Amino acid sequence: MDQPSEKPRKAVRKVTYHHWVLFPFVLIMRMWMGTLRVKADPETRLRLRGPGVYVFWHNRLFIIPEVRRRFIRKERIWGLISASRDGAWTEALLRLFGIGAVRGSSNYRGAQAVKELIRVVRGGGSIGVAPDGSTGPRYVVKPGAAFVAKSCRMPVILVNADFERAWRLNSWDRFFVPKPFSRVHVRCARFEDWDALGTQDVDSAARMIQERMLAIQEEDPLHSVDEPDGA
């Protein structure tokens, strides 16, 4: 994948054997996702164009590589990945799908990760953020994600995917794994109102992003009731 002109620093944990271990799994995932009937209306396709900060819920991560392949393939995208030991596996998986990685979390290396994300954006790349990851609460936008969006001053593209049929894992976010040959609806909203976002504190900006994300989710015809944790 092309690198932005101002390259982020090396990840916390180098990817070595992870690629080789995950490669067969990625082949299976590609075949699996190839069976899905992924649909996006013309307005959504238009909103998915161009560089920006792509925001999506953590439990939709399974479908994000396929959304990128079908609708955002011309963009250079980097994801924010946990700096934990498990994050090395996620980094390797994303790289096999053509997505770069910046390592960091609220507990470790967070400030450095934000700086690297901003360098990616200034170098012409886009970034992807799961604002409720990596440990939840589910559907609650963390202030750090809002800070990244405010700092980058690029279009914020809120992406949602809902599934006709899917398994739900017994994880903190009730992770979605769409069943083969099922329908997937992709919807998104896009806003660039930096006057409204920039004048708010980080917590208020996080609530704004959260409200808009949940509104997109509720509008989808395939949506099932799935409230935020603590709601």
Structural domains of the chain, with CATH: 18-219 (3.40.1130.10)
What tens digit of pLDDT does each residue of 128-181 get?
989 897 788 999 998 877 777 777 778 889 999 999 999 999 999 999 999 999
DSSP letters for 13-74: S--STHHHHHHHHHHHHHHHHHTSEEEE-HHHHHHT-SS-EEE--GGGGGGHHHHHHHHSTT
Mean pLDDT of 79-103: 83
pLDDT surpassing 80 at residue 12: no
Q: What pLDDT, on a 0 to 100 scale, did the predictor assign at position 110?
A: 66
3-state class of 162 per DSSP? strand
To the nearest 10 degrees (0 to 180), the angle between helices 202-219 and 143-152 is 100
Side-chain half-sphere CA neighbours of 114 within 13 A: 16
- Interatomic CA distance for residues 77 and 75, integer angstroms: 6
Tell me what pLDDT residue 147 has: 78
Q: Which range, 63-77, 130-144, 168-182, 213-227, has the best average confidence (pLDDT)?
A: 168-182
User: Please, what is the average pLDDT of the chain?
Assistant: 82
Read off the pLDDT band of 231 (50, 70, 90).
Answer: low
